Chain A
Amino acid sequence: MGEEVKLFRGWSSPYALRIVWALKLKGVQYETIYEEVSNKSRALIEYNPIHKKVPVLVHNGKPIAESLVILEYVDEIWKQPPLLPQDPHRRAMDRFWAKFGDEKVLPSIWEAFKKQGKEQEEALSIAMENLKFLEEELKGKKLFGGEEIGLVDIALGWLANLVSVFEEIIGLQLMPEEKFPHLFAWMQVFADIPVIKESWPPRDKMVAKFQALREVHLSKEAQND
Protein backbone atom coordinates (compact mmCIF):
# COMPACT_ATOMS: atom_id res chain seq x y z
CA MET A 1 0.00 0.00 0.00
CA GLY A 2 1.42 3.40 -0.97
CA GLU A 3 1.90 5.63 2.02
CA GLU A 4 2.97 9.19 1.59
CA VAL A 5 4.36 10.81 4.73
CA LYS A 6 5.81 14.30 4.69
CA LEU A 7 7.16 16.28 7.61
CA PHE A 8 7.38 20.05 7.39
CA ARG A 9 9.89 21.18 9.98
CA GLY A 10 12.40 23.74 11.14
CA TRP A 11 16.00 22.52 11.41
CA SER A 12 16.48 23.38 15.09
CA SER A 13 13.01 23.09 16.60
CA PRO A 14 12.55 20.73 19.55
CA TYR A 15 8.92 20.26 18.48
CA ALA A 16 9.96 18.93 15.09
CA LEU A 17 12.49 16.54 16.64
CA ARG A 18 9.68 14.83 18.53
CA ILE A 19 8.05 13.82 15.29
CA VAL A 20 11.37 12.75 13.74
CA TRP A 21 12.04 10.48 16.71
CA ALA A 22 8.55 8.97 16.70
CA LEU A 23 8.61 8.25 12.96
CA LYS A 24 12.13 6.77 13.09
CA LEU A 25 11.37 4.65 16.16
CA LYS A 26 8.39 3.21 14.34
CA GLY A 27 10.35 2.66 11.13
CA VAL A 28 8.15 4.98 9.05
CA GLN A 29 9.56 6.21 5.72
CA TYR A 30 9.00 9.93 5.30
CA GLU A 31 10.11 12.96 3.35
CA THR A 32 11.42 16.07 5.12
CA ILE A 33 10.65 19.59 3.94
CA TYR A 34 12.64 22.25 5.80
CA GLU A 35 10.87 25.53 6.38
CA GLU A 36 12.32 28.96 7.17
CA VAL A 37 10.35 31.03 9.68
CA SER A 38 10.91 34.19 7.69
CA ASN A 39 9.90 32.69 4.36
CA LYS A 40 7.10 30.18 4.80
CA SER A 41 6.11 28.08 1.86
CA ARG A 42 2.65 28.24 0.31
CA ALA A 43 2.22 24.59 1.11
CA LEU A 44 2.82 25.15 4.83
CA ILE A 45 0.30 27.98 4.98
CA GLU A 46 -2.25 25.80 3.18
CA TYR A 47 -1.62 22.87 5.49
CA ASN A 48 -1.64 24.91 8.71
CA PRO A 49 -3.71 28.03 8.06
CA ILE A 50 -4.59 28.53 11.73
CA HIS A 51 -1.09 28.72 13.20
CA LYS A 52 1.12 28.79 10.08
CA LYS A 53 3.74 26.91 12.08
CA VAL A 54 5.88 23.82 11.88
CA PRO A 55 5.94 20.95 12.49
CA VAL A 56 3.14 19.72 10.25
CA LEU A 57 2.76 16.08 9.30
CA VAL A 58 1.04 15.38 6.00
CA HIS A 59 -0.14 11.78 5.67
CA ASN A 60 -1.53 10.81 2.27
CA GLY A 61 -2.27 14.49 1.61
CA LYS A 62 -4.00 15.14 4.94
CA PRO A 63 -2.30 17.57 7.35
CA ILE A 64 -2.00 17.35 11.12
CA ALA A 65 -0.51 20.20 13.19
CA GLU A 66 0.59 20.72 16.83
CA SER A 67 3.37 18.35 17.85
CA LEU A 68 1.57 16.58 20.71
CA VAL A 69 -1.50 16.03 18.49
CA ILE A 70 0.80 14.70 15.74
CA LEU A 71 2.51 12.32 18.20
CA GLU A 72 -0.78 10.74 19.25
CA TYR A 73 -1.80 10.41 15.60
CA VAL A 74 1.52 8.75 14.69
CA ASP A 75 1.11 6.39 17.65
CA GLU A 76 -2.40 5.41 16.52
CA ILE A 77 -1.50 4.79 12.87
CA TRP A 78 1.86 3.04 13.34
CA LYS A 79 1.29 1.04 16.48
CA GLN A 80 4.71 -0.51 17.13
CA PRO A 81 6.44 0.26 19.33
CA PRO A 82 3.66 2.00 21.31
CA LEU A 83 4.41 5.42 22.79
CA LEU A 84 1.33 5.56 25.02
CA PRO A 85 0.30 2.79 27.44
CA GLN A 86 -3.09 1.08 27.28
CA ASP A 87 -4.23 1.95 30.79
CA PRO A 88 -6.41 5.12 30.75
CA HIS A 89 -4.99 6.53 33.99
CA ARG A 90 -1.40 6.09 32.83
CA ARG A 91 -2.31 7.67 29.48
CA ALA A 92 -3.80 10.64 31.33
CA MET A 93 -0.62 10.98 33.40
CA ASP A 94 1.57 10.84 30.26
CA ARG A 95 -0.51 13.57 28.63
CA PHE A 96 -0.25 15.59 31.84
CA TRP A 97 3.55 15.45 31.95
CA ALA A 98 3.91 16.18 28.24
CA LYS A 99 1.77 19.32 28.66
CA PHE A 100 3.65 20.30 31.83
CA GLY A 101 6.86 20.17 29.83
CA ASP A 102 5.49 22.52 27.18
CA GLU A 103 3.54 24.90 29.41
CA LYS A 104 5.95 25.20 32.32
CA VAL A 105 9.38 23.61 31.88
CA LEU A 106 10.26 24.90 28.43
CA PRO A 107 9.12 28.52 28.97
CA SER A 108 10.85 28.71 32.36
CA ILE A 109 14.15 27.40 30.97
CA TRP A 110 13.84 29.79 28.05
CA GLU A 111 13.32 32.70 30.47
CA ALA A 112 16.39 31.72 32.47
CA PHE A 113 18.37 31.49 29.24
CA LYS A 114 17.46 34.85 27.77
CA LYS A 115 17.83 36.99 30.90
CA GLN A 116 20.78 38.12 32.99
CA GLY A 117 21.61 39.30 36.49
CA LYS A 118 18.92 39.24 39.15
CA GLU A 119 16.15 38.48 36.64
CA GLN A 120 18.09 35.44 35.49
CA GLU A 121 18.54 34.24 39.08
CA GLU A 122 14.79 34.47 39.67
CA ALA A 123 13.95 32.76 36.38
CA LEU A 124 16.47 30.03 37.18
CA SER A 125 14.87 29.33 40.52
CA ILE A 126 11.44 28.94 38.87
CA ALA A 127 12.92 26.63 36.22
CA MET A 128 14.49 24.46 38.92
CA GLU A 129 11.21 24.18 40.80
CA ASN A 130 9.61 22.84 37.63
CA LEU A 131 12.51 20.44 37.07
CA LYS A 132 12.07 19.12 40.61
CA PHE A 133 8.65 17.74 39.66
CA LEU A 134 10.21 15.88 36.73
CA GLU A 135 13.00 14.60 38.98
CA GLU A 136 10.37 13.17 41.37
CA GLU A 137 8.48 11.55 38.53
CA LEU A 138 11.60 9.73 37.33
CA LYS A 139 12.36 8.03 40.66
CA GLY A 140 12.60 4.28 40.24
CA LYS A 141 12.44 4.54 36.46
CA LYS A 142 15.02 4.32 33.72
CA LEU A 143 12.92 6.41 31.33
CA PHE A 144 9.66 8.31 31.84
CA GLY A 145 8.03 5.50 29.86
CA GLY A 146 9.52 2.89 32.23
CA GLU A 147 11.78 0.38 30.51
CA GLU A 148 10.95 1.68 27.05
CA ILE A 149 10.83 5.15 25.56
CA GLY A 150 7.36 6.68 25.70
CA LEU A 151 5.40 9.84 24.92
CA VAL A 152 6.82 11.77 27.87
CA ASP A 153 10.44 10.92 26.97
CA ILE A 154 9.79 12.17 23.45
CA ALA A 155 8.00 15.30 24.67
CA LEU A 156 10.80 16.17 27.11
CA GLY A 157 13.68 14.88 25.02
CA TRP A 158 14.68 18.41 23.99
CA LEU A 159 16.13 18.76 27.52
CA ALA A 160 18.87 16.27 26.62
CA ASN A 161 20.23 18.63 23.98
CA LEU A 162 19.09 22.21 24.53
CA VAL A 163 20.06 22.35 28.21
CA SER A 164 23.74 21.75 27.47
CA VAL A 165 23.65 24.21 24.56
CA PHE A 166 22.11 26.87 26.82
CA GLU A 167 24.54 26.10 29.64
CA GLU A 168 27.49 26.53 27.30
CA ILE A 169 26.19 29.94 26.18
CA ILE A 170 25.26 31.40 29.56
CA GLY A 171 28.03 29.72 31.57
CA LEU A 172 25.58 28.62 34.27
CA GLN A 173 24.21 25.25 35.26
CA LEU A 174 20.49 24.94 34.55
CA MET A 175 20.31 21.33 35.71
CA PRO A 176 23.20 20.48 38.10
CA GLU A 177 23.74 16.75 38.50
CA GLU A 178 23.83 16.89 42.30
CA LYS A 179 20.37 18.46 42.39
CA PHE A 180 18.87 16.37 39.60
CA PRO A 181 20.61 12.98 39.58
CA HIS A 182 17.66 11.12 38.02
CA LEU A 183 17.14 13.69 35.26
CA PHE A 184 20.87 13.65 34.57
CA ALA A 185 20.92 9.86 34.30
CA TRP A 186 17.78 9.93 32.12
CA MET A 187 19.41 12.40 29.71
CA GLN A 188 22.37 10.03 29.22
CA VAL A 189 20.14 6.99 28.63
CA PHE A 190 17.84 8.91 26.29
CA ALA A 191 20.63 10.53 24.27
CA ASP A 192 22.29 7.12 23.82
CA ILE A 193 19.31 5.64 21.99
CA PRO A 194 20.55 5.34 18.36
CA VAL A 195 17.55 7.06 16.75
CA ILE A 196 17.94 9.98 19.15
CA LYS A 197 21.71 10.21 18.83
CA GLU A 198 21.63 10.39 15.04
CA SER A 199 18.92 13.07 14.87
CA TRP A 200 20.35 16.00 16.83
CA PRO A 201 20.81 19.12 14.74
CA PRO A 202 24.47 20.23 14.32
CA ARG A 203 25.66 21.51 17.68
CA ASP A 204 27.81 24.36 16.40
CA LYS A 205 24.84 25.72 14.43
CA MET A 206 22.65 25.40 17.54
CA VAL A 207 25.14 27.29 19.73
CA ALA A 208 25.49 30.03 17.10
CA LYS A 209 21.75 30.37 16.62
CA PHE A 210 20.83 30.55 20.30
CA GLN A 211 23.80 32.79 21.12
CA ALA A 212 22.46 35.24 18.53
CA LEU A 213 18.90 34.94 19.88
CA ARG A 214 20.09 35.65 23.40
CA GLU A 215 21.93 38.74 22.22
CA VAL A 216 18.78 40.03 20.50
CA HIS A 217 16.77 39.58 23.70
CA LEU A 218 19.40 41.22 25.88
CA SER A 219 19.67 44.23 23.61
CA LYS A 220 15.86 44.59 23.54
CA GLU A 221 15.89 44.61 27.35
CA ALA A 222 18.65 47.23 27.36
CA GLN A 223 16.57 49.41 25.04
CA ASN A 224 13.56 49.14 27.33
CA ASP A 225 15.49 50.29 30.41
Chain B
Amino acid sequence: MAREVTLLDFWPSMFGIRVRVALAEKGIRYEHREENLRNKSPLLLQMNPVHKKIPVLIHNGKPISESLNIVQYIDEVWHDDAPLFLPSDPYQRAQARFWADFVDQKVFSTGRRVWTTKGEEQEAAKKEFLDTMRLFEAELGHKPYFGGESFGYVDVALVAFYSWFYTYETFGNFSIEAECPMLIAWAKRCMEKESVFKSLPDEKKIFEFVMQLRKRFGIE
Protein backbone atom coordinates (compact mmCIF):
# COMPACT_ATOMS: atom_id res chain seq x y z
CA MET B 1 0.00 0.00 0.00
CA ALA B 2 1.52 3.29 -1.07
CA ARG B 3 1.78 5.59 1.86
CA GLU B 4 1.83 9.25 0.95
CA VAL B 5 2.50 11.78 3.64
CA THR B 6 2.78 15.50 2.97
CA LEU B 7 3.15 18.29 5.51
CA LEU B 8 2.12 21.85 4.66
CA ASP B 9 4.23 23.92 6.99
CA PHE B 10 5.83 27.28 7.79
CA TRP B 11 9.30 27.08 9.27
CA PRO B 12 8.92 29.34 12.37
CA SER B 13 5.51 28.00 13.40
CA MET B 14 5.46 26.22 16.76
CA PHE B 15 2.43 24.32 15.54
CA GLY B 16 4.29 23.09 12.47
CA ILE B 17 7.29 22.22 14.63
CA ARG B 18 5.13 19.89 16.74
CA VAL B 19 4.20 17.88 13.68
CA ARG B 20 7.80 17.75 12.42
CA VAL B 21 8.87 16.39 15.80
CA ALA B 22 6.09 13.79 15.85
CA LEU B 23 6.87 12.59 12.32
CA ALA B 24 10.59 12.40 13.11
CA GLU B 25 9.97 10.48 16.34
CA LYS B 26 8.05 7.82 14.45
CA GLY B 27 10.56 7.76 11.60
CA ILE B 28 7.92 8.63 9.02
CA ARG B 29 9.13 9.76 5.61
CA TYR B 30 7.19 12.65 4.20
CA GLU B 31 7.18 15.47 1.70
CA HIS B 32 7.70 18.82 3.36
CA ARG B 33 6.08 21.80 1.66
CA GLU B 34 6.89 25.28 2.86
CA GLU B 35 3.97 27.70 2.58
CA ASN B 36 4.20 31.43 2.04
CA LEU B 37 1.50 32.63 4.42
CA ARG B 38 1.13 35.89 2.52
CA ASN B 39 0.44 33.91 -0.64
CA LYS B 40 -1.22 30.66 0.38
CA SER B 41 -1.11 27.79 -2.08
CA PRO B 42 -4.30 26.46 -3.70
CA LEU B 43 -3.48 23.13 -2.03
CA LEU B 44 -3.54 24.69 1.44
CA LEU B 45 -6.81 26.49 0.73
CA GLN B 46 -8.30 23.26 -0.56
CA MET B 47 -7.02 21.10 2.32
CA ASN B 48 -7.93 23.51 5.13
CA PRO B 49 -10.82 25.60 3.82
CA VAL B 50 -12.15 26.39 7.30
CA HIS B 51 -9.04 27.96 8.85
CA LYS B 52 -6.65 28.24 5.88
CA LYS B 53 -3.78 27.63 8.29
CA ILE B 54 -0.76 25.41 8.61
CA PRO B 55 0.15 22.81 9.66
CA VAL B 56 -1.88 20.44 7.54
CA LEU B 57 -0.93 16.80 7.24
CA ILE B 58 -2.11 15.12 4.07
CA HIS B 59 -2.16 11.32 4.34
CA ASN B 60 -3.29 9.26 1.36
CA GLY B 61 -4.99 12.35 0.00
CA LYS B 62 -6.94 13.15 3.17
CA PRO B 63 -6.16 16.27 5.20
CA ILE B 64 -5.83 16.58 8.95
CA SER B 65 -5.42 20.01 10.51
CA GLU B 66 -4.86 21.49 13.99
CA SER B 67 -1.44 20.46 15.31
CA LEU B 68 -2.53 18.49 18.37
CA ASN B 69 -5.10 16.63 16.26
CA ILE B 70 -2.33 15.77 13.82
CA VAL B 71 -0.04 14.50 16.59
CA GLN B 72 -2.84 12.28 17.95
CA TYR B 73 -3.60 11.06 14.44
CA ILE B 74 0.06 10.17 13.86
CA ASP B 75 0.09 8.32 17.19
CA GLU B 76 -3.04 6.35 16.28
CA VAL B 77 -2.05 5.44 12.73
CA TRP B 78 1.59 4.64 13.47
CA HIS B 79 0.77 2.97 16.75
CA ASP B 80 3.26 0.16 16.18
CA ASP B 81 6.13 2.61 15.92
CA ALA B 82 7.65 3.51 19.22
CA PRO B 83 7.21 5.59 21.14
CA LEU B 84 3.53 6.09 21.74
CA PHE B 85 3.02 9.75 22.57
CA LEU B 86 -0.13 9.23 24.59
CA PRO B 87 -0.10 6.88 27.58
CA SER B 88 -2.19 3.72 27.45
CA ASP B 89 -4.00 4.40 30.74
CA PRO B 90 -7.16 6.48 30.12
CA TYR B 91 -6.67 8.69 33.19
CA GLN B 92 -3.04 9.43 32.29
CA ARG B 93 -4.22 10.08 28.76
CA ALA B 94 -6.78 12.59 30.00
CA GLN B 95 -4.08 14.35 32.03
CA ALA B 96 -1.80 14.53 28.96
CA ARG B 97 -4.64 15.99 26.87
CA PHE B 98 -5.42 18.50 29.62
CA TRP B 99 -1.82 19.75 29.78
CA ALA B 100 -1.42 19.91 26.01
CA ASP B 101 -4.66 21.91 25.86
CA PHE B 102 -3.22 24.18 28.56
CA VAL B 103 -0.16 24.82 26.37
CA ASP B 104 -2.56 25.83 23.61
CA GLN B 105 -4.61 28.08 25.86
CA LYS B 106 -1.70 30.02 27.32
CA VAL B 107 1.74 29.85 25.79
CA PHE B 108 1.24 31.26 22.29
CA SER B 109 -0.93 34.19 23.30
CA THR B 110 1.08 35.28 26.35
CA GLY B 111 4.38 34.82 24.50
CA ARG B 112 3.05 36.93 21.67
CA ARG B 113 2.05 39.70 24.05
CA VAL B 114 5.61 39.72 25.41
CA TRP B 115 7.07 40.65 22.01
CA THR B 116 4.27 42.88 20.74
CA THR B 117 3.66 45.15 23.75
CA LYS B 118 5.52 47.61 25.93
CA GLY B 119 5.43 49.11 29.40
CA GLU B 120 2.73 47.92 31.78
CA GLU B 121 1.10 45.62 29.24
CA GLN B 122 4.42 43.89 28.62
CA GLU B 123 5.13 43.54 32.34
CA ALA B 124 1.74 41.90 32.79
CA ALA B 125 2.41 39.56 29.86
CA LYS B 126 5.84 38.61 31.25
CA LYS B 127 4.35 37.82 34.63
CA GLU B 128 1.61 35.69 33.10
CA PHE B 129 4.12 33.91 30.86
CA LEU B 130 6.45 33.09 33.77
CA ASP B 131 3.53 32.03 36.00
CA THR B 132 2.52 29.62 33.26
CA MET B 133 6.06 28.26 32.92
CA ARG B 134 6.17 27.70 36.69
CA LEU B 135 2.99 25.65 36.46
CA PHE B 136 4.62 23.49 33.81
CA GLU B 137 7.73 23.15 35.96
CA ALA B 138 5.59 22.01 38.89
CA GLU B 139 3.81 19.49 36.68
CA LEU B 140 7.12 18.15 35.38
CA GLY B 141 8.47 17.68 38.89
CA HIS B 142 11.40 15.26 38.96
CA LYS B 143 10.37 13.37 35.84
CA PRO B 144 12.76 13.46 32.88
CA TYR B 145 9.85 14.20 30.56
CA PHE B 146 6.22 15.23 30.98
CA GLY B 147 5.47 11.77 29.62
CA GLY B 148 7.45 10.21 32.47
CA GLU B 149 10.40 8.08 31.45
CA SER B 150 9.76 8.67 27.79
CA PHE B 151 9.14 11.70 25.60
CA GLY B 152 5.39 12.07 25.08
CA TYR B 153 2.43 14.15 23.99
CA VAL B 154 2.89 17.11 26.34
CA ASP B 155 6.62 17.18 25.59
CA VAL B 156 5.82 17.49 21.86
CA ALA B 157 3.23 20.18 22.57
CA LEU B 158 5.55 22.37 24.65
CA VAL B 159 9.07 21.82 23.31
CA ALA B 160 7.97 23.37 20.00
CA PHE B 161 8.08 26.75 21.78
CA TYR B 162 11.71 26.37 22.88
CA SER B 163 13.08 28.05 19.72
CA TRP B 164 10.95 31.06 20.60
CA PHE B 165 12.21 31.44 24.18
CA TYR B 166 15.23 33.49 23.09
CA THR B 167 12.90 35.93 21.32
CA TYR B 168 10.60 36.24 24.34
CA GLU B 169 13.59 36.73 26.65
CA THR B 170 15.26 39.33 24.46
CA PHE B 171 12.20 41.50 23.86
CA GLY B 172 10.94 40.97 27.39
CA ASN B 173 14.33 41.43 29.00
CA PHE B 174 14.12 38.43 31.29
CA SER B 175 15.65 34.98 31.65
CA ILE B 176 13.37 31.99 31.64
CA GLU B 177 16.23 29.82 32.92
CA ALA B 178 16.69 32.06 35.96
CA GLU B 179 13.02 31.68 36.84
CA CYS B 180 12.44 28.09 35.74
CA PRO B 181 15.75 26.20 35.66
CA MET B 182 14.13 22.73 35.72
CA LEU B 183 12.04 23.59 32.69
CA ILE B 184 15.08 24.72 30.70
CA ALA B 185 16.91 21.57 31.80
CA TRP B 186 13.97 19.61 30.40
CA ALA B 187 14.09 21.54 27.12
CA LYS B 188 17.83 20.87 26.76
CA ARG B 189 17.21 17.19 27.49
CA CYS B 190 14.63 17.14 24.68
CA MET B 191 17.09 18.86 22.36
CA GLU B 192 19.45 15.90 22.80
CA LYS B 193 16.95 13.87 20.80
CA GLU B 194 17.60 13.96 17.08
CA SER B 195 13.88 14.31 16.30
CA VAL B 196 13.70 17.51 18.34
CA PHE B 197 17.08 18.93 17.41
CA LYS B 198 16.45 18.53 13.69
CA SER B 199 12.89 19.88 13.83
CA LEU B 200 13.40 23.08 15.80
CA PRO B 201 14.67 26.09 13.89
CA ASP B 202 17.64 28.11 15.12
CA GLU B 203 16.52 30.52 17.85
CA LYS B 204 18.45 33.41 16.27
CA LYS B 205 16.63 32.88 12.98
CA ILE B 206 13.32 33.06 14.85
CA PHE B 207 14.50 36.31 16.44
CA GLU B 208 15.35 37.79 13.02
CA PHE B 209 11.97 36.66 11.71
CA VAL B 210 10.21 38.39 14.61
CA MET B 211 12.26 41.57 14.05
CA GLN B 212 10.89 41.61 10.50
CA LEU B 213 7.35 41.00 11.79
CA ARG B 214 7.63 43.86 14.28
CA LYS B 215 8.75 46.20 11.47
CA ARG B 216 5.80 45.09 9.40
CA PHE B 217 3.36 45.59 12.28
CA GLY B 218 4.92 48.96 13.08
CA ILE B 219 6.09 47.95 16.55
CA GLU B 220 9.15 49.83 17.76
Contacts and interface: CB of A to CB of B under 8 A. Distances in A.
A89 B72 contact: no
A77 interface: yes
B135 A50 contact: yes
A77 B62 CA distance: 29
Given A64-B98, A73-B90, A89 B66 contact: no
A62 to B, nearest CB: 6
A66 interface: yes
Contact of A89 (B50, B64, B95): B64
A194 interface: no
Given A89-B59, A89-B64, A95-B66, A69 B97 contact: yes
The 6 closest A-B pairs by CB, nearest first: A88-B76, A73-B94, A76-B90, A92-B73, A92-B64, A69-B97
Q: Is the contact region of chain B dominated by helix, strand, or loop, or is it mixed? A: helix
A66 B98 contact: yes
Interface of B: 50, 59, 62, 64-66, 69-70, 72-73, 76-77, 90-91, 93-95, 97-98, 101-102, 135
B93 A89 contact: no
Contacts of A89: 59, 62, 64, 73
A91 B75 CA distance: 12
B94 to A, nearest CB: 4
Contacts of B95: 64
Interface string A37-74: 00000000000001000000001001011101110110
Interface string A95-119: 1100110000000000000000000
Given A66-B98, A89-B64, A133-B50, 17 more contacts: A50-B102, A50-B135, A62-B91, A69-B101, A70-B94, A72-B94, A72-B97, A73-B94, A76-B93, A89-B59, A89-B62, A91-B72, A91-B76, A92-B69, A96-B69, A99-B66, A100-B50
A100 B51 CA distance: 9
A95 B101 CA distance: 13
B73 A77 contact: no
B76 A96 contact: no
Interface string A115-137: 00000000000000000010000
9 contacts: A66-B98, A68-B101, A73-B93, A76-B93, A88-B77, A89-B64, A92-B69, A95-B72, A100-B50
A96 B98 contact: no
A66 B76 contact: no
A76 B93 CA distance: 10
Contacts of A65: 98
A66 B101 contact: yes
Contacts of A100: 50
Given A89-B59, A89-B73, A95-B66, A69 B102 contact: no
